[in-house]
Amino acid sequence: MSSLLIPNWLYRFRRQARTDGRGGVVIRPRSLYILPTRQGILLALVLFLMLAGSINYGSNLAYLVTFLLGGIWLSAILHTWRNLLGLMIHPAQVSPVYAGQEARFSLSVTNPSSLRRFGISLRQKKLLGESADLAGEESCLLHLPIPTVHRGRLPLPEVSLHTVYPLGLFHAWSYARLDISCLVYPRPAEAGEPPSDSCYTSSEDGDRGVGADDFVGLRTYREGDSPRHIDWKAFARERGLMSKQFGGDRTERVELDWDLLPAVDTETRLSLLCRFILQAESQAISYGLHLPDLTIAPGMGERHKQRCLAALATFGE
C-alpha cells in the first residue's frame, strides 16, 4: 500500500488540514492529496493491454468491458478522496513515558457525516498507527506510537490520515498538525545509589515508617525481606508469605539533592535522580527533591512521583 514518496524539499509547500478553532483539524478538499498506488498503476497498464487486445481483434464487447474498468478506475479517485473528506481529528490523550520508550499518542477521529468511512489509518511519516472503519457520526480513538529519545516535552509531529478504500488503486491522505505533546521523563540510570550524604533524617512525628523497635503490622513478603521477619505462623495457616513490620522512632526519609550528585553532565544527573525516585518509591521511602531552581518537599505516592519526574523532564526549560 506504499505510495510515491514526496521529496523533503517539497514538504514546505504542503497543505495542512485546516484547524477548526477548537484544537482539532478538519480535512477539507484543498488539504487532500491523492495519487495512484502501485496497484493503481499496475491496473492502468493492464487496461492498456486490454485496450490493445480490443483494438486488435475489433471486439466491441471487449472495448465495452475495458472502458467500464477504466471508468471504475477513474471513479475510484473520487471515492477514495471522498472517503477522507470532512473527517475531523482531535488530540485525545497521551501518557508520560521514559525516554527510549514509545510515546503512545491517542487521536480521536470523528466522522461528522452520516456516510460510513472505511480503512482510515493514522501515520507519522513511516510510522504506522492504527486503522479503523467509522460508522456515520461516530468517533474513534486511534493510537500512534512514536519512539522517544530525549527527555522533555515531545510535541506530536505532523501526522497524516490515510485511506486507499474502496479499491486500493488510489491513496488519499491529508497532513495535520495537532497541539498535543507527550511528557518524556529522563531514562532511569541503570546503576547508582543515592549519595550517603542524603542521610536518613529523623522524623518529627515519630514511629511511622520503617524501623526495628516496635511491631506495627504485617505486609506481603517482598524480595529482600529478612527471613527472621517472616510470619511463619501465617504461612502455616496458608495465608502466604507475610513479613512482620516494625516501626521505630525514625522514618526513613531521603533528600534527593542535585548538588550532592557527582559532578557529571546534566542529563546523567537527571537520569540518576530519576532512578533514585523510582527506587525510593518502590521501597516506600519518603523522598524530597532539590533541583537548582526547584525544591519539592518530601512525600510519597503516585502523584508525588509524577510531580518529581515531571520536574526532571522539564528541567532547564
Partner 1 sequence: MRQTIDHTLTPKLQLRLYLLTGLVLVPHVQHLPLVVSFFLFTTLGLRFISLRLPKLQPGRLLLFLLTAAGVVLIYNEHQTLMGKDAGVSLLSIMLVLKTLEVRRRRDLYVTIFIAYFVIVTQFLFDNSFLLLIYLLALLVGHTSLLLEINRVSPSRNFFEPYRQTFWITLQALPIAIILFILFPRLGHPLWHFGHDGSAQTGLSERVEPGTISQLIQSSAVAFRVTFKHEPPPPEQRYWRGLVLWDTDGVSWYTDKNNPVPFLSSSIMPTGKPVEYEVLLEPHRKTWLYALDLPAVAPSKSKLSSDFLLHLREPVTRPKQYDGLSFTRHLTSPPTEALRQRALRLGEGITERQRNLVSTWRAASSSDKDMVERALQHFYEREFVYTLNPPRYLKNPVDQFLFEGREGFCEHYATAFTQLMRLAGIPSRMVIGYQGGEHNDLGDYYTIRQYDAHAWSEVWLEGEGWKRVDPTAAVAPERVRSAIQPNFGSVGEPALFRIDSDSLIGSGLRQISMLLDNSSLRWRRWVLGFGQEEQYGLMRGLGLGFLPTGQWGFLLIGLVGLVLALIGVRLVLQGRVKQEQVQVLYQVFCRRMAAIGHPRHAHEGPLDYSVRVCRERPDLANPVRLITKLYIRLRYGEHKTKNNQAAFADQVRRFHPGRS
The residue from 17, 94, 132, 312 that contacts partner 1 (CB under 8 A) is: 132
**Within 86-105, which residues bind partner 1 (CB under 8 A)?**
86, 90
Q: What residues does 115 pair with on adjacent strands?
A: none
Q: What is the DSSP letter of 230?
A: B
35 in contact with partner 1 (CB under 8 A): no
Interatomic CA distance for residues 311 and 194, integer angstroms: 18
Q: Which residues pair with 98 in a beta bridge?
A: 185
Q: What one-character DSSP code corresponds to residue 9?
A: G
Stretch near partner 1 under the rule CB under 8 A, chosen from 44-52, 213-221, 251-259, 270-278: 44-52
Site for partner 1 in 251-310 (CB under 8 A): none
Binding mask 211-230 for partner 1 (x = CB under 8 A): --------------------
Least CB distance to partner 1 at residue 303 (A): 22
Distance CA 144, CA 176 (A): 14
Cα(215)–Cα(304) distance, integer angstroms: 28
Site string for partner 1, 45-64 (x = CB under 8 A): -x--xx-xxxxxxxxxxxxx
Does position 164 bind partner 1 by CB under 8 A?
A: yes
Closest approach of Cβ 14 to partner 1, in Å?
A: 22
Backbone phi, psi, residue 199, to 5°:
-70, 160
Q: How far is the CB of 213 from partner 1 (least distance, A)?
A: 52
Handedness of CA 135, 136, 141, 144 (dihedral sign): positive
Residues 143, 128: Cα–Cα separation, whole Å:
9
Contacts of partner 1 in 167-206 (CB under 8 A): 167-169
Could you tell me the three cell numbers for 159? 501526522
User: How far is residue 297's CA from residue 315's CA, in Å, rounded to a whole number?
Assistant: 17
Binding site for partner 1 (CB under 8 A): 1, 21-24, 29, 38-39, 42-43, 46, 49-50, 52-72, 74-79, 81-82, 85-86, 90, 112-115, 118-119, 121, 128-133, 140-142, 164-169
